[in-house]
């Protein structure tokens, strides 16, 4: 198997981080995690992931604000962000895209939904031969 992309999961819920990590590690992705928006930004700077899964509702810095800060950083602005939300899609749809998000997944999600969304995002980032 070839090396897969590095994925950063930013979520204040340890269960979500653990489940998503397990699913994506099982697919061969290099997964790193952060438990807050601020930590997510720092890990993105240190690790330079290919994709970020970002919770919207976090106590210190919500996913929208964290994504806006990522998009303002020239070294990080090209990293796509997929939001993780427990709210209805209609509540987050416009705001997710306006803050720089590429897509979103509604919680609770299945392992297959997560694998499919990440696989599509990573394929879209891969150079065509």
pLDDT of 123 strictly over 90: no
Residue 37, CB half-sphere, CA atoms under 13 Å: how many? 18
Asked whether residue 40 is domain-assigned, the answer is yes
Domain count, the chain: 1
For residue 1, is it within any domain? no
Quick check: 125 pLDDT over 90? Answer: no
Q: Could you tell me the residue range of the domain that residue 51 belongs to?
A: 6-125
The 3-state secondary structure of 40-81, one letter per residue? HHHHHHHHCCCEEEEECCCCCCCHHHHHHHHHHCCCCCCCCE
pLDDT digits (tens, 9 = 90+) for 76-118: 999 999 999 876 555 555 566 566 677 888 888 999 999 999 9
In a domain, 60, yes or no: yes
pLDDT value at residue 2? 46
Query: Residue 94: inside a domain, yes or no?
Result: yes
Q: Edge to edge, what strands does the sheet with 51-55 contain?
A: 30-34, 6-10, 51-55, 81-85, 103-106
What's 102's domain CATH number? 3.40.50.2300
What is the reported pLDDT for 1?
Answer: 38
Tokens 């919500």 appear where?
62
The pTM for the full model equals: 0.89
């Amino acid at each position: 198997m070839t090396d897969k992309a590095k994925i950063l999961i930013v979520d204040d819920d340890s269960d979500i981080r653990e489940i998503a990590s397990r699913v994506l590690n099982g697919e061969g992705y290099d997964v790193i995690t952060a438990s807050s928006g601020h930590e997510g930004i720092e890990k993105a700077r240190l690790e330079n992931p290919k994709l970020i899964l970002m919770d919207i509702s976090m106590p210190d810095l919500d996913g929208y604000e964290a994504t806006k800060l990522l998009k303002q950083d020239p070294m990080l602005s090209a990293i796509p962000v997929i939001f993780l939300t427990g709210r209805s899609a209609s509540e987050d749809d416009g705001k997710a895209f306006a803050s720089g998000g590429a897509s979103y997944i509604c919680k609770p999600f299945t392992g297959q939904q997560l694998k499919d969304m990440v696989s599509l995002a990573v394929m879209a980032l891969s150079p065509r031969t």
